[in-house]
A and B are shown apart, each in its own frame.
Chain A
Amino acid sequence: MRAKQFLSSLFACLMTLPAWASVDIQHWTTPQGARVYFVENHDIPMLDVAVDFPAGSRLERAEKNGVAALTHAMLDQGAGGLSDIAIAKRFADVGATLGGIFEQDRAGVSLRTLSSARERDIALALMLTVLHKPEFPESVMRRERARVLAALRDEESRPGEIAQKAFYQALYGNQGYGLPPSGTAKTLGRIKRNDLLAWYRARYRAGDAVISIIGDMSRADAEQLALRIAVGLPQGSSAETATGSAAMPPVEKRITHPSAQSHVLMGQVAIARSDADYFPLYVGNHVLGGGGFDSRILEEVRQKRGYAYSAYSYFIPMAQPGPFLIGLQTKNAQANDALKVARETVARFVAEGPTEAELTQAKNNLVGGFPLRIDSNQKILGYLRAIGFYRLPLTYLDDWGKNVEGVTLEQIRDAFKRRVNPENMSVVIVGGNAG
Chain B
Amino acid sequence: MHLKTALLLIFIASPAGAGVTDVSLDNGLRVIVKEDHRAPVAVSQLWYKAGSMDEHNGATGVAHVLEHMMFKGTEKVPEGQFSKRIAAAGGRENAFTNRDATVYFQQLQKDRLPIAFELEADRMANLQLKDESFAKEIQVVMEERRLRTEDDPQAVVYEQLMSVAYQAHPYRRPIIGWMDDLQNMVPQDARDWYGRWYAPGNATLVVAGDVNPQQVIALAKKEFGPLAGKPLSLRKPQEEPPQRGEKRITVKAPAKQPYLLMGYHAPRLSDVEKDTTPWALQVLVSVLSGNGSARLTKHLVKEQRIAADVAAGYDGINRGPGMFYLEGVPSEGKSVSELEKAIRLEIRRIQKDGVSEEELNRVKAQAIAGDVYQRDSVFYQAMQLGELATLGLPLDLLEKRVDMLKAVTADQVKAAAKLLTDDKLSVAVLDPQPIVGAPRKPAMEIDHAR
Q: Which residues of A contact B (CB under 8 A)?
A: 16, 20-21, 43-46, 76, 84-89, 91-96, 112-114, 119, 143, 146-147, 149-151, 153-154, 156-159, 162, 184-186, 188-190, 192, 255-261, 291-294, 299, 302-310, 329-331, 361, 364-372, 374-378, 435
Say whether B369 contacts A96, CB under 8 Å: yes
Q: Is the CB of A368 within 8 A of B370?
A: no
Q: Which of B362, B372, B435 contacts A92 (CB 8 A)?
A: B362
Whether A149 and B332, one on each chain, are in contact in the complex, defined by CB atoms closer than 8 angstroms, is: yes
User: Nearest CB to that of B109 among chain A residues?
Assistant: A371
Stretch at the interface among B79-87, B187-195, B198-206, B407-415: B79-87
Taking a contact as CB atoms under 8 Å apart, the answer to whether B444 and A185 are in contact is yes
Q: Among A87, A154, A255, point to the contact of B257 (Cβ < 8 A).
A: A154
Q: State whether B369 touches A378 (Cβ < 8 A).
A: no
- The docked-state distance in angstroms from the alpha carbon of A21 to that of B445 is 54
Chain B contacts with A in 125-161, Cβ cutoff 8 A: 135-144, 146-147, 150-153
Q: List B contacts of A159 (CB < 8 A).
A: 151
Determine whether the beta carbon of B91 is less than 8 Å from that of A95: no
A44, A84, A96, A330: the one contacting B143 at CB < 8 Å is A330
Which residues of chain A come closer than 8 Å to B337, judged between CB atoms?
none
Known pairs A92-B294, A260-B146, A371-B39 / 7 extra A-B pairs, C-beta < 8 Å: A89-B293, A92-B362, A157-B153, A258-B436, A329-B147, A366-B90, A371-B41
B291 lies within 8 A of chain A by Cβ: yes
- Pull 18 A–B residue pairs with CB atoms less than 8 Å apart, ordered by A: A20-B40, A46-B369, A92-B290, A93-B365, A96-B369, A149-B332, A150-B329, A154-B256, A190-B446, A260-B151, A261-B147, A299-B80, A306-B136, A306-B143, A329-B146, A364-B90, A371-B40, A372-B41
Of residues 407 through 450 on chain B, the ones whose CB sits less than 8 Å from some CB of chain A are 432, 435-438, 441-447, 449
- Residue pair A189, B445 in contact (C-beta under 8 Å): yes
Q: Which of B143, B329, B437 is close to A331, meaning CB atoms less than 8 Å apart?
A: B143
The interface residues of chain A lying within 8 Å CB-to-CB of B89 are: 364, 368
Q: How far is the CB of A225 from chain B (nearest CB, A)?
A: 19
Residues of A near B257 (CB, < 8 A) are 150, 153-154, 157
Stretch from B48-56, B301-309, B343-351, B382-390 at the A interface = B301-309
The answer to whether A143 touches B305 (Cβ under 8 A) is yes
Nearest B residue to A305, CB-CB: B136
A294 to B89, CA, bound (A): 12
Prevailing SS type, chain B contact patch: mixed
Tell me which residues across on chain B come within 8 A of A92, comparing CB atoms. Answer: 290-294, 362, 365-366
Given contacts A153-B257, A368-B90, A372-B41, contact A435 B372 (CB under 8 A): no
**Cβ contact of A375, chosen from B39, B309, B446, cutoff 8 A:** B39
CA distance A119 to B362 in the complex (A): 12
The answer for the CA separation of A376 and B92 in the assembled complex, in Å, is: 16
Whether the pair A157, B254 counts as a contact (CB closer than 8 A) is yes
CA distance A307 to B138 in the complex (A): 10
Q: Bound complex: CA of A377 vs CA of B39, how far in Å?
A: 10
Chain A residues with Cβ below 8 Å from B372 are 44-46, 114
CB distance from B40 to the nearest CB of A (A): 6
Closest to B434 in A: A258
Cβ-based interface call for B398 (8 A): no
Q: Is A293 a contact of B83 with CB atoms below 8 Å?
A: yes
B377 interfacial contact with A, CB 8 Å? yes
B373-A309 in contact (CB<8A): no
With most chain A CB atoms within 10 A of its CB, the pick from B88, B140, B151, B443 is B151
Of the candidates B41, B84, B432, the one having the most CB atoms from chain A within 10 angstroms of its own CB is B41
- B378: CB under 8 A from chain A? yes
**CA of A189 to CA of B92 in the docked complex: distance in angstroms?**
45
Give the chain A neighbours of B152 by CB distance below 8 A: 158
By a CB distance below 8 angstroms, the chain A residues around B26 are none
> Given contacts A89-B362, A146-B308, A186-B442, is CB(A156)–CB(B143) below 8 Å?
no
Residues of A within 8 A of B432 (CB): 157
Name the CB-closest residue of A to B436.
Answer: A258
Q: Which residue of B lies closest to A156 (CB)?
A: B256
Q: Which residues of A contact B40 (CB under 8 A)?
A: 20-21, 371
* Any A CB within 8 A of the CB of B38: yes
Q: Lowest 7 A-B CB distances belong to which pairs?
A: A368-B90, A95-B369, A88-B292, A306-B139, A256-B437, A150-B308, A375-B39
Asked if residues A307 and B143 are in contact (CB atoms below 8 Å), the reply is: yes
- Whether A46 lies near B435 (C-beta < 8 A) is no
With a CB–CB cut-off of 8 A, which chain A residues contact B137?
306
Given A306-B136, A369-B92, A190:B39 Cβ within 8 A: no
The answer to whether residues A291 and B87 also contact, given A92-B365, A369-B92 and a CB cut-off of 8 A, is yes
Q: How far is the CA of A258 from the CA of B39 in the complex (A)?
A: 48
Whole-angstrom CA separation of A367 from B109 in the bound complex: 11
A168 to B367, CA, bound (A): 41
Q: Are B87 and A157 in contact (CB under 8 A)?
A: no
Tell whether B376 is near chain A: CB-to-CB under 8 Å: yes
Residue of A nearest to B72 (CB): A303
- Cα A310 to Cα B87 with chains together (Å): 18
Determine if A376 and B444 form an interchain contact, defined as CB atoms under 8 angstroms apart.
Answer: no
Contacts from B to A (Cβ < 8 Å):
38-41, 71, 80, 83-84, 87-92, 107-109, 112, 135-144, 146-147, 150-153, 253-257, 290-294, 297-298, 301-302, 305, 308-309, 329, 331-332, 361-362, 365-370, 372-373, 375-378, 432, 435-438, 441-447, 449
Alpha-carbon gap, A164 to B361, bound state (A): 43
- Residues of B with C-beta under 8 A to A89: 291-293, 362
Q: How far is the CB of A398 from chain B (nearest CB, A)?
A: 16
B146 and A261 within 8 A (CB): yes
- Contact: B309 with A147, CB < 8 Å? yes
* Complex Cα–Cα for A256 and B434 (A): 13
Q: A364, B87: Cβ atoms under 8 Å?
A: yes
With A and B bound together, what is the CA distance between A76 and B39 in angstroms?
Answer: 34
Closest-by-CB residue of B relative to A151 is B308
Measured between beta carbons, the chain B residues less than 8 angstroms from A91 are 291-292
Chain B residues positioned under 8 Å from A45 (CB to CB): 372
Complex: A84 Cα to B146 Cα, angstroms = 39
* Nearest B residue (CB) for A113: B369
Contact B369 A156 (CB under 8 A): no
The closest CB in chain B to the CB of A329 belongs to B147
A376 touches B377 (CB 8 A): yes
A258–B143 contact, CB under 8 A?
no
On whether A185 and B442 interact (CB within 8 A), knowing A92-B365, A143-B305, A307-B143, the answer reads yes
Contacts of B301 in A (CB 8 A): 143, 147
Known contacts A44-B372, A46-B376, A147-B309; A260 and B39 CB within 8 A of each other? no
When the two chains form their complex, are residues A376 and B376 in contact, meaning their CB atoms are under 8 A apart?
yes
A174 CB, nearest partner CB in chain B, Å? 15
User: A151 — which chain B residues lie within 8 A by C-beta?
Assistant: 308
Q: Could you tell me the distance in whole angstroms from the C-beta of B331 to the nearest C-beta in chain A?
A: 6
Chain B residues within an 8 Å CB radius of A376:
38-39, 376-378
- For B290, the chain A residues whose CB sits under 8 A away are 92
Contact A374 B39 (CB under 8 A): yes
* Complex Cα gap A378–B378 (Å): 12
Known A89-B293, A92-B366: A369·B436 in contact at CB below 8 Å: no
Interface pair A294/B254, CB less than 8 Å apart: no
Contact between A257 and B293, CB atoms less than 8 A apart: no
Check if B143 sits within 8 Å of A375, measured CB to CB: no
In whole angstroms, what is the CA distance A104 to B66 when docked?
40
A188: chain B residues at CB < 8 Å are: 444
Chain A nearest CB, measured from B232 CB (Å): 31
Query: CA A329 – CA B368 in complex, angstroms?
Result: 42
Residues of B within 8 A of A44 (CB): 38, 372, 375-376
CA distance A145 to B87 in the complex (A): 45
Q: Given A258-B254, A374-B39, A85 and B444 touching (CB < 8 A)?
A: no
B50 → chain A, closest Cβ, in Å?
Answer: 22
User: Which residue in A16, A309, A367, A374 is a CB contact (below 8 Å) of B144?
Assistant: A309
In the bound complex, CA of A365 to CA of B378 (Å): 20
Q: Are B91 and A368 in contact (CB under 8 A)?
A: yes
B378 neighbours in A (Cβ, 8 Å): 375-376
Given contacts A44-B376, A46-B372, contact A365 B143 (CB under 8 A): no
